[in-house]
Structure 1
């Protein structure tokens, strides 16, 4: 006989053996039947030709950041989210990008919990339907779904403290389905009352005659708030319209006092400096989305219209006292920037057969950027313009794109092939510069299953992509960092082009071995230089490397050690080959990234988590970040029928600090940053989950300027 076992939406037919119990009645119709125990386990990690899917249990009791850290191929290195060691990753929630970067992006992801998230999808290579500058791949968060008139929500508060810092991080989410309407709102914030630290900088001159050292004390109170709200209306069974508005505010007040000591050609120069930098920006966005279904197979028309406005102000005041001659100097600068991005994306997906679909679309994006920088010096109690540092620019960019992609399965093969054509026109009125360039960006994924159950698979991927300069890197406004250093943009930057090739062997849906390479032309890198007017002054700018090639191997291996321990490991090894100019030979480096997370299921609904993360020395331009090791520990407890989650933890137990080194022609510069917010931290958090009915899949309004927004999400 056969027993039909219903699991979710999948019906499995399982053979069962019936055994008679001799102590019971002998008639078959009345005889009890004892079935052998059948245990069905769903896979938490599923690998496909084009992506990796992590299925989230509603009882995981983790926030979005913690779930990211335990997802194969994803690594969080400081403020950066990477896939297989490649930065520039885009994060989407139900097909809508989160429009933030760095700490602000991670804070927003943290506002979601396992109660909200159904799955996390990792696409190492973005398809043709995504903008060509999605070079770091795509992470898609799929939220839970329901169809009845109910709601769910989450409220959380986290406190983080050390001997030098204190911060509160509140967050919330609320989703509701009512008749033909879907409503949602998400929000998060961070209030840092104080974040004290120090910076130590030392120069080692190659002539062994001169020397330089500097020590600075920093306090950086800051706050940011992010909120978005949206709604969908189901006009009928075929048509849906939605809209979303979002607002983000960030304010940082950095105050630094420093003392510098320079001995150069037998001259001694020591000085004290006070530096304040107040950075504030606001982002207002709006999106409208229309969808029209054409059949029950999934054929769909989408129209997305999107607008973003960002206004930022950066005020700096710098006081310098030269102790060796008792002379002082005072400067100030005021940089204001306005960005406007508008885009429209129209796409049509036609499902041809059960296993074949064709996607086509067009997109237009316009970007307007205005910058004004006023730099002044205080002379005889009067502010005077320093014309050499004043700057005003008007930058315009227009991007036209068309794309097509086919997805098909033939027996044991899966093929995804796409092509994207883009034309970009840019104008910088300040320097009378115009650029007009067009390119084709092909994309190919080929997968093969060695057995019917797909326990052994291989996936081969290729894509050509572009990285356009961030608007922050294009601004040639001068930002003073100290008496002997500053930062400045480069309006002559060229876009980078990347060819990405990889092959992934997949076993048992979750174990993966990936070999690949990323070949860059004109890669944009930060570069440290000496000021031509004063060799003792260094500055950081952006330049294009002629070529840079990354050859890598990545291993993902999750393990279940009994019923108590769940172990996730992620290892990436990279051979980095850098050619700065066409005349230079290649310099080669070996990079290692390792992340391991162990989860312990303890009695009485206690849970523990231990995370270890490391990387060796990382290289960029003529600078490097030294080796780092980090250990985080958390203990969790659920109460009140799992509605309340209490968490206590210690981050960065080893109290690792950030260490940097730059190699210039006359000297080597080494610096070390000790900040309370990045050192050893004790954290306590409380999260409350509430709902009526079952969980909801929140429908999010998509937008069409996702990748363009990321270019303006910096604080400068």
Structure 2
């Protein structure tokens, strides 16, 4: 950004922060405690206007027992607080400006919790400042992994390679418990497939993250928050199930949570055995008068063992200390057969045919360990947090490949190889959140990350009786990365406005060296500023519902991951290989978005992304062998993307409700490809929906699905595709046992045809996989019963249930 523009922006922000406007709404904060002064965590609070009893405000107390409402001065409300194991609390309150924190004490309920179920309204999707919160509970019961939960979450789209997309066609960055997972798309997909579905507490979607978060990720951030032991006593669940397509998946696991006397802990253990297939049919122009036709069929048998744990301590009223870790071992194999035919276009004659077979055996070890602290500076929300983490991913594998020549007949060729990839990532950060006044918040912090990646591959080819080194595929590559960052941002309530703004400074140091087959290296050292501005205000009140608008500006960077930079060729077949590009430059994006929400529910958004030095997956002809093509990544130019999305819900008609969403993306590329001008425009629609029908008190039917029309995947133009998923669950044994029947991609429509026109490359084809599946899941909950929650986008209540 131009320094003068940045200075003007920050000066304007400062001027706005030091002025106040006449107050309309203001924060009304409540602290909930038990008789022993322990905070009440996860309590549901409802404010009802006495003048209009159809108007409700809802919130949930945080880990400090504090809950906050945006209330109207002078308005009288009826407050209702409910929490498992405690008696409901009712109070008439009249908030006033300048009122101190209201402290309420909740009494223990002597009723046996095993036979009581409290219904609390909890929305499926909510808007919290600049992030969207998705409750995964209803989706988890019909999923076998965190990966499937992501696939079914409203407004989230996953491509076949494991990339996650939100508003933009640039992939989002994945976080777990607030920590960035610096991995390739394939590694992240493997990790999400090993994460149990019932281990996720919530999904935070940040399409335009604030300056507190890393500037990386112009596609936004998806943060998976794992469950902790926040319930009183020991609780948990055991689950097992399977689903069957052409191949079958089986899984079993146990989840334990404990919380007593200021100590919390959790343990997740899970085993998964899965298999699936993928079929890709491609027709590629091989020469002016010939066509290469390929039909590839691959199976992916795999086994995963996963363990996750967490320990939390509260030594005193101000400290909160947490230790958490995850371990997974993955045995991922694949068997691929690819029939290749070269056909003469002018005569239709088959010129050559061969069969290529590739076998891969991968062993992936993943380990993550984190340590975090939080110190409460006061009772109005000021806190100091620290976080230190370490991640290790070790990927070792073997590959064997053979080619049988059917026409013309000649001796087969064969080869084999091995590879060893090791990735180490360490991160440390400190954040200060200071409440200058009840309406002014100052945030600042610093972070450093260090990443070290090594890749060693050794390939051989069989020539007669001799096994000779394959110098084309043998490679050794080292990569180091260090990113240092500091930020400052402030927010202030200005009557009906909330203004937040700041700037982040990031120093990037990247170094890569290829040792084999040639000694080459690259180095990047740069320092960049990333401003952020967020403005929210109350727009209107229609039919008792409050509408708020949000305006966001953000500058971000997308750095190439090690997988994109590693130059060693990875064999696909004798006509195609893939390799990284060590000369790849980072891309920068400026994002502008305005959106509107109703009662903290996202409703409508309109935005624009402008990306420079955009890099994407491309396919080039090998300059040394025109019969070969290779996939890589390259900087192509600029892209202007305009998008809008709509999310709406219909309140339940007795026991039924649904959510519907739509998103439109229009991309305009401008740049160079193979030294020639490249211009590419395409618009794409995405529609998704979620339905729930409570058949009776113990049975629920859900239906969810998506449709993507005129789709786009980098420069691939896709046909229309989508999926419809259904589930039916029934509770037994005092609601502790849940049995769920699922049907995913019921009509087998989640596949697409594709075309690509890139310079001299012209190809089309079909891609599909084992997406249609029927399954059964059994889950048993033990310990103190979790309160039943109705998941819908509107807060519609049901009467409380008594004894069963």
Q: TM-score, normalised by structure 1?
A: 0.85
Query: 1:425-436 residue pairs with structure 2 within 5 A?
Result: 425-430=509-514, 431-436=520-525
Pick the aligned partner of 1:599 from 670, 692, 706: 692
Q: Confirm or deny that 1:371 pairs with 2:455.
A: yes
SS in 1 for 2:208: coil
For residue 735 of structure 2, the aligned residue among 642, 659, 662 is 642
Structure 1 residue 123: Cα displacement: 2.5
The 8 Å contact of residues 528 and 623 in structure 1, kept in 2 or not, is answered as: no
1:309 to 392, 400, 404: 392
Per-residue deviation, residues 340-395 of structure 1 (Å, max 9, x unmatched) = 11121112111111122111111111111111121211123232112233211221
Shift in CA distance, 295/220, structure 1 to aligned 2, threshold 3 Å? same
Question: What is the distance in 1 between the residues matched to 2:665 and 2:321?
Answer: 45
Q: Hey, what does 2:626 align to over in structure 1? A: 535
Please point out which of 604, 620, 635 is paired with 1:544.
635
Question: What is the rounded CA distance, in whole Å, between the counterparts of 1:254 and 1:592 in structure 2?
Answer: 33
Q: Distance in 1 between matches of 2:668 and 2:623?
A: 29
Residues 300 and 332 in structure 2, CA contact (< 8 A), matched pair in contact too: yes
What SS is found at the alignment partner of 1:534?
coil
1:6 to 56, 80, 101: 80
Name the residue aligned to 2:784: 692
Give the structure 1 partner of residue 28 of structure 2: none
Match of 2:534 among 427, 431, 445: 445
- 1:387 paired with 2:471, answer yes
Distance 1:236 1:260, change over 3 A: same
Tell me, in whole angstroms, the C-alpha distance in 1 between the residues paired with 2:721 and 2:238: 33
Please name the residue that 1:699 is paired with: none
Q: What pairs up with 1:68-217 in 2 under 5 angstroms?
A: 73-76=155-158, 79-90=162-173, 95=178, 103-104=189-190, 106-107=192-193, 111-112=197-198, 117=201, 120-140=203-223, 149-162=232-245, 164-192=246-274, 194-196=275-277, 198-204=279-285, 207=288, 209-217=289-297
Verify: 1:629 aligned to 2:722, yes or no.
yes
Would you say the 8 A contact 1:608–1:636 is kept in 2? Answer: yes
TM-score by length of 2: 0.76
CA distance in structure 2 between the aligned counterparts of 1:93 and 1:321, rounded to whole angstroms: 46
1:96 to 1:267, Cα distance in 2 relative to 1, 3 A: closer
Q: From the superposition, tell whether residues 57 and 204 of structure 1 become closer, same or farther in structure 2 (CA, over 3 Å).
A: closer
Residues 194 and 305 in structure 2, CA contact (< 8 A), matched pair in contact too: no
Q: Which residue of 1 aligns with 2:562?
A: 471
CA separation in 2, counterparts of 1:66 and 1:469? 26
Q: SS state of the match for residue 126, structure 1?
A: coil
- When residues 210 and 191 of structure 1 are mapped into structure 2, their CA distance, relative to the original with a 3 A threshold, is same
Residues 506-528 of structure 1, C-alpha deviations (whole Å, 9 max, x = no match): 23442511110111112221111
Query: Closer, same or farther in 2 for the Cα pair 1:95/1:666, shift >3 Å?
Result: closer
CA distance in 2, matches of 1:597, 1:590: 24
Aligned to 2:611: 520
Give 1:556 shift.
0.5
Q: CA deviation at 1:143?
A: 7.0
CA RMSD of aligned residues (A): 3.2
1:506 counterpart = 2:597: yes
Whole-angstrom distance in 1 between the partners of 2:147 and 2:357: 36
What's the offset of the Cα at 1:615?
A: 0.9
How has the CA–CA distance of structure 1 residues 347 and 481 changed in structure 2, closer, same or farther, with 3 Å as cutoff?
same
Shift of 1:464: 0.6
CA distance in 1, matches of 2:295, 2:218: 38
Match of 1:346 among 427, 430, 451: 430
Moved more, 687-696 or 452-461: 687-696
Q: Which shifted more, 392-401 or 235-244?
A: 235-244
| Comparing 212-221 and 328-337, the one that deviates more | 212-221
**Higher relative contact order, chain-length normalized (CA < 8 Å, sep 6+):** 1
Alpha-carbon separation, structure 2, partners of 1:283 and 1:659: 35
Deviation at 1:337, TM superposition (A): 1.1
Distance 1:217 1:475 in 2: 27
Tell me how far 1:605 sits from its aligned partner. Answer: 2.3
C-alpha displacement at 1:423, in angstroms?
Answer: 0.6
Query: Residue 412 of structure 2 aligns with which residue?
Result: 328
Aligned to 2:326: 246
Q: Secondary structure at the match of 1:581?
A: strand
Contact 2:229 2:266 in 1 (8 A): no
1:413 aligned onto 2:497: yes
Q: Which residue of 2 aligns with 1:660?
A: 754
Number of residue equivalences: 665
Residues 206 and 666, structure 1, Cα contact 8 Å, conserved in 2: no
- Corresponding residue SS for 1:492: coil
Asked whether the equivalents of residues 111 and 172 of structure 1 are also in contact (C-alpha less than 8 Å), the reply is no
Q: Kindly report which structure 2 residues correspond to 1:557-572, keeping only aligned pairs within 5 A, or say none.
A: 557-572=648-663
Alpha-carbon shift at residue 165 of structure 1 (Å): 0.6
Q: Give the deviation of 1:610 after TM superposition.
A: 1.8
SS, match of residue 472 in structure 1 = helix
How many Å apart are 1:575 and its aligned residue? 1.0
Conserved in 2, the CA contact under 8 Å of 1:226 and 1:248? yes
The Cα shift of 1:333 comes to 2.0
Measured after TM superposition, the shift of residue 643 of structure 1 is 1.2
Distance verdict in 2 for CA 1:688–1:85, change over 3 Å: farther
Q: 1:450 to 1:268 in 2, by over 3 A?
A: closer
Alignment gaps of 5+ in structure 1: 16-38, 697-716
